[in-house]
Amino acid sequence: MTYGDWALLQDRRGRTYLFRLEPGGIFHYHRGSISHQAIVEAGAGRRIATPQGEPFTIHRPTLEDYVLHMPREATPTYPKDAATLCFLLDLAPGMRVLEAGSGSGGLTFYLARAVGPGGQVWSYEARPKHLKRAQANLAAFEDWGNVTWVEGDLAQAELPPAFFDGIALDLMEPWRVLPAVTPALKPDRFLVCYLPNLTQVVALLEHLQAQKLPYLHERTLEVLHREWDIRPPIAHPKFQQVGHTAFLVQLRRVEGD
């Protein structure tokens, strides 16, 4: 680790603290402080303590760590949902994927990693403030140069036909943009909608049926993680859990009657 890197300290209770290492910097804790220089000299994967003896471990933050700690203009797509969304889109290195909206960039990170430096992510966001935050978050942590940012309403976009290998929509009314994005999705590829409530899911599926849009509804799911507190001989689910965050609706584009 060196100055300019992100560092993550974890205390003995599992609480984490994310910050960038700076010359002369100090990490302050209620039971002492640790200089950034001491963290750099110790390195990632090591233990360190305050002068009062409060222990920490030093880590390079994972993408999950960064997304959960990063500044935000909107609630980011939770890592558990973002990772599953990439799985539902069946993404691989070199593919092209479209997303809307950019939000705080939480999903953008996972899409960019999934398609790799040789792939492309087109990220549409209608709100300038949100777009600026997503761009800043990506640039601050990990930027492979494979994201094209577009400020505008995706419903008005003119997209190249059969260009994208996947489409991810984190919009309140995703059915509004379907006429614009459907021709841009390759046949037999997937479009996934991230929808917080079931009313939106029903409205989306009713719209698909009424407009006879060329999609198969593959599945609707939610991702629930149940963490456990295990301290032998005691083991029980953690009292604080991340419950429902959103429904993921997976659609597959098909052609013909």
- pLDDT on residue 238: 84
- pLDDT on residue 244: 87
- The verdict on 129 and 148 lying in the same domain is yes
- pLDDT on residue 241: 73
- The verdict on 49 and 74 lying in the same domain is no
The whole-angstrom separation of Cα 101 and Cα 154 is: 9
- The verdict on 118 and 152 lying in the same domain is yes
Query: What is the domain-level CATH number for residue 190?
Result: 3.40.50.150
- The verdict on 56 and 152 lying in the same domain is no
- The verdict on 85 and 185 lying in the same domain is yes
User: Within a domain: residue 1?
Assistant: no
- The verdict on 55 and 69 lying in the same domain is no
Token couple for 249: 């609706």
Give the range of the structural domain holding residue 249, as residue numbers without chain letter: 65-253
The whole-angstrom separation of Cα 250 and Cα 217 is: 6
Token couple for 203: 């409205």
DSSP 3-state of 60: coil
Residue ranges of alpha helices (H) inside the chain are: 36-42, 63-69, 79-89, 106-115, 128-141, 178-181, 198-211
Q: Give the chain's residues under pLDDT 50.
A: none
What does pTM read for this prediction?
A: 0.92
- The verdict on 55 and 70 lying in the same domain is no
Given phi > 0 = left and psi -120 to 50 = alpha, else beta, which region is 14? left
- pLDDT on residue 257: 58
Query: What is the domain-level CATH number for residue 13?
Result: 3.10.330.20
- The verdict on 71 and 114 lying in the same domain is yes
Token couple for 216: 């198969």
Domain count, the chain: 2
- pLDDT on residue 199: 97
Residue 130: which of 147, 162, 105 has the closest Cα? 105
